[in-house]
Amino acid sequence: MDSTKPYDYLTDSGFKSVIAASRGIVMLIVVADWSGSYHMMEPIFNKLREQFQHDVSLYKMDYDTNSITIAEYCMQEIPTILLFKAGQLVDQIAGTISKNELTSRIQSLL
């Protein structure tokens, strides 16, 4: 997978159907252009995207335009990372996290 390719973005209207249809692991990264923490983590997301390209589907969602999903999962920090397995939420991470810790959490789901 080309880590420079733009991420697919999910919205409130399509989010649940994408998650429900997924048989594997989905990582949703909730982002905001104004968040310094998100921009600091972006290189980590890109490395993980390449590392797990065959095992994890990665998507982004804009925090400012998807209030239904944001409220449903009580997201208050950017970035927030949601990990789903077989359509079920299995982990939620608010704020920054090290690459090693995030890698470990993903690997525990494989």
Predicted model pTM: 0.91
The domain containing residue 30 runs over which residues?
A: 8-107
In a domain, 80, yes or no: yes
Domains held by the chain: number: 1
DSSP label of 4:
T
Give the pLDDT mean for 29-35.
95
Q: Give the CATH number, domain containing residue 29.
A: 3.40.30.10
* Residue 1 pLDDT exceeds 70: no
61-84 residue pLDDT tens:
999 999 999 999 999 999 999 999
In a domain, 2, yes or no: no
Q: Which residues pair with 60 in a beta bridge?
A: 9, 29
In a domain, 32, yes or no: yes
- Cβ partners under 8 Å of residue 45, min gap 6: 29, 58
Q: Residue 91 and residue 73: Cα distance in Å, rounded?
A: 11
